[in-house]
Structure 1
Amino acid sequence: MTQIGFYHLTRTSLTEALPMLLTRTLDSGQKAVVWCTDKPALDELDKTLWQIATPRWLPHGSAGIACPDLQPIWLSTGDDCPNEARFLFLTQNRHCADPARFERIFDLFDGHDESAVTAARARWAQAHKAGHDLAYWRQEDKGWKRAR
């Protein structure tokens, strides 16, 4: 079954938290795909990732560029994965209809938005019922803490 980690953002925004997780993904030799709900969110994330230099530059691409299969990080508003990434990052309450396509899923949600928390709980229940390997991570002052 797919490993699904729920990442409860409590002290930073998505654009602040995601680069560190993507850096760890690339450092582990994996590719990533990030699914956003809309073009403005994708554009904001795209701009943020191009400006990141520390801890690592994060090369990436999205629709309209040549050779999407060569991108280490793919950003999309759809359900595509042309870079054949095994790690999926879900943002803005996105849902993955076929988790088995991926080795690992990172479900990031805004802990200050009650509707996002409620939606994450529903996704957790669905993933639990399907038998996936689940983990819950909450932001702490210094990184993430896994809760049981």
Structure 2
Amino acid sequence: MFGLFKSKPKAMTKERAEAIINAYGAILMKHPNMVTDENELPFDREEIKEALRFGIGAADDPAMIDMLKAGYVTLGDFLRLTDKERFVVKQQSILQEAGFDPSNATLAEVKKWVAHYAEYRPLMSRVEANAFILAHEIGAARPEHPKLPEGFGEPG
């Protein structure tokens, strides 16, 4: 009524999953950066997850399953960014495209790079945290890692 409510989600079919996965794959090819604005996603994050899970369940090729799981984990690269964070990501893209190497830079260039990196690093940390969570969701986490010690993170 009057567009106030979201429409009922469409059932995931093979064709729909393929369309979503292909569109998502195209975005991954277009944005190889570690941090990307979530507005670049071609579909809702949950819908992409559902399509990838569908594909994983339907695939019989282990390489394809691994690729789909990697795509699932890579959803962590897509963050909700502020305007300032979008600028920082754009600056990182410029540095990557230029092949900037701080070891061959002037002191003034290194100081600019360090200031930039101080703003970019927290975004990378968010991506890394997302990747761990998504890897656990999809069963791609490495089980050989030790568990957190009893009482970790609880107030003393």
Q: Choose 1 or 2 for highest CA Rg.
A: 2
Higher helix fraction (1 or 2): 2
Select the structure that is richer in strand: 1
Higher relative contact order (CA 8 A, sep 6+): 1
* TM-score (norm: length of structure 2): 0.24
